[in-house]
Structure 1
Amino acid sequence: MPDLPQLLLFIAAGWLLNLTPGPDVLYIVTNTLRSGVRAGIVAALGIVNGCFVHVFAAAIGVSALLATSAMAFTVLKWVGAAYLLWMGVRLLFSKASPLDLHAGPAEPDLWRVYYRGFLTNVLNPKVALFFLAFVPQFIAPDASNKALAFLWLGLIFNINSLPINFGYAWLAAWAARRVHAVQRAMHWMDRAAGLLFVGFGLKLAMTDNPAP
């Protein structure tokens, strides 16, 4: 484990990174606006658990393989891009349903919300490469067990991301309760989110393979 100043720096850097909007934040906010804060929290849990897969993979060397093997990176990149594009197209062509402002948010399928958030991160090789690039900077060169140190830091990073992700869910729920225009235009927001997911998918598809 790093010393206390390094650990505090690691936590602060993690919070700043998690505050940056991206596919994770978009997924949390979209589900919160559609189905309430509970769906947003479940979406956040799915996303964080997807990150745990990459933390464990990096600790045992799978992420190193992604960083050095063009074939492995390309396969996961295209699978992840296809998944993001599928989510985007599904939102773009979703049917608009009448929304009763007095009835509250629609009852969500929480399991579906969870596993889609989980897959959003598991199928994105850029998440694996992020952990591989970011976490080792805070591991002492003379650490006796670097894999264990990596796991601990990954655990800390993911747990510390929860307040940020939950905060996005609560903020979106607060906005939805107070801005009726947001609720009346949910199907347009679905389409905007769909365009963004398509954009994220295309961006991932065009990501260069890591240099060997």
Structure 2
Amino acid sequence: MLISPEQFAGFLAAALLITVSPGPDNLMVLGMGMSRGRKQGMVFGLGCALGCLSHTILATLGVSALIAASPLAFTALKVFGGLYLIWLGIGALRSRGGARVEGSGMPDDSLLRLFGKGLFANAINPKVVLFFLSFLPQFVVTARGDASWQTAQLGLIFTLQACILFGLLGYFSGAVGKWINRNPRAGMWLDRVAGAIFVGLGLRLIIAR
């Protein structure tokens, strides 16, 4: 069964905001585009975004294993995930901005190598693994059936929107990078909005249980 329109809309809104908030991945994409060109920034960004597929698989398998072991274990995952999101949210709310976009500093590589570097950099990041395991289950509605299938759908949605946004970041990297460098406080407010969403999601899960 496909996720509901309400699940889709709520998850997509949160995913979009998280993706555009200044962070290592999108700042690397911007830096790559500014220093190497639009095509290179777009290819590197596509690799970063598709790296999310590996985290989707891990999250889906983890949810499946927990449900098979015990519904209580799945509930524990969502609660502990909620606590992790609150921790991330507090960190984002305390952000003072100051994000800057610099040149990538990478040697010239083929487009294929740039794609592979973006893919590898995201896929091996343990913080992204933990984020997916915490974030995706928050939007799973167990009453709608197969939670692992819902998790897989959510992960694919996250990956697709990241591909689009990172591609746009790479294409418009020069203008966006200059704007961020001129307006460092903009990143602070994006972080605060994203932080409020994290805290709200975490509290909803904990209070509801």
SS in 2 for 1:60: helix
Deviation at 1:157, TM superposition (A): 1.1
The TM-score, its normalising length taken from structure 1, stands at 0.59
Find the aligned partners of 2:17 and 2:116 in 1 and give their Cα distance: 25
- What's 2:20 paired with? 19
- What's 2:119 paired with? 118
Note if contact 1:31-1:113 (Cα within 8 Å) is conserved in structure 2: no
- What's 1:160 paired with? 161
Note if contact 1:27-1:117 (Cα within 8 Å) is conserved in structure 2: no
Note if contact 1:51-1:158 (Cα within 8 Å) is conserved in structure 2: yes
Unaligned runs of 5+ in 1: 69-89, 96-106, 183-212
What count of residue pairs does the alignment treat as equivalent?
143
Find the aligned partners of 2:175 and 2:109 in 1 and give their Cα distance: 18
Deviation at 1:167, TM superposition (A): 2.2
Higher helix share: 2
The TM-score, its normalising length taken from structure 2, stands at 0.60
Superposed, 1:1-212 pairs within 5 Å as: 1-61=2-62, 91=105, 108-174=109-175
Cα distance per residue 1:52-86 (max 9 Å; x no partner): 11101111129x89xx9xxxxxxxxxxxxxxxxxx
SS in 2 for 1:142: helix
Note if contact 1:50-1:122 (Cα within 8 Å) is conserved in structure 2: yes
Which one-letter code corresponds to 1:35 in the other structure? R
Which one-letter code corresponds to 1:10 in the other structure? F
SS in 1 for 2:22: coil
Cα distance per residue 1:94-113 (max 9 Å; x no partner): 79xxxxxxxxxxx7511221
Which one-letter code corresponds to 2:169 in the other structure? Y
Deviation at 1:163, TM superposition (A): 2.5
Note if contact 1:139-1:146 (Cα within 8 Å) is conserved in structure 2: yes
Which is higher, the Rg of structure 1 or of structure 2? 1
- What's 2:204 paired with? none
Find the aligned partners of 1:175 and 1:44 in 2 and give their Cα distance: 14
Unaligned runs of 5+ in 2: 67-76, 78-103, 182-209
Deviation at 1:153, TM superposition (A): 0.9
Find the aligned partners of 1:50 and 1:175 in 2 and give their Cα distance: 23
Which one-letter code corresponds to 2:120 in the other structure? L
Which one-letter code corresponds to 2:123 in the other structure? V
